[in-house]
Amino acid sequence: MDIQIEHNAGFFRALFLLMKQVGRRGCMRSAFETAKLLLSLDPQGDPMNVLLAIDYYALTSRQCQFLIDLFDSKTPVVDRFASAEAGSKKKAGKKTSSNASETIAMLPNLQFSLALAQYVLPRPQSVDSMLLVYQELTHCGSAFS
């Protein structure tokens, strides 16, 4: 669904405001389902930046497997500021770097949420599963510190 069309933009905004409002009211599962709907309308573009909030709603509604599946989906990240930066760097004579291999797995909020989801998932707590969570958190800390 293209957000550039006027009626679609209003629909995107209405769903986004609904997601935020039901989240404020404490209906986390409803906010999570609304966020999933909003993300499914344009998963590649994500015009309302739902990827920055969907992990919170998934964790609070105990939908940990969704986070793991989302993390493993390898959906590419859209950089909305790349074209503006490329234009300003060309004027300044600097090289532009474009990394097409960046996926949503590189988002810090999803990396931390993945570690929490693996910790919360109902399964027998073995040393291996705790080691996996520790490695995920160590990777997050080293990548963003």
Residue 36 pLDDT grade (very low, low, confident, very high; cuts 50, 70, 90): very high
Distances (CA, A) of 44 to 27, 34, 77, 109: 27, 17, 8, 18
Secondary structure (3-state) at 103: strand
Residue 79 pLDDT grade (very low, low, confident, very high; cuts 50, 70, 90): confident
* Per-residue confidence (pLDDT) for residue 67, from 0 to 100: 93
Q: Which of 51, 48, 60, 49 is nearest to 23 (CA)?
A: 60
* Per-residue confidence (pLDDT) for residue 102, from 0 to 100: 84
pLDDT at 98 over 60: no
pLDDT at 94 over 80: no
Place of tokens 């344009």: 42
C-alpha span between 78 and 69 (Å, rounded):
19
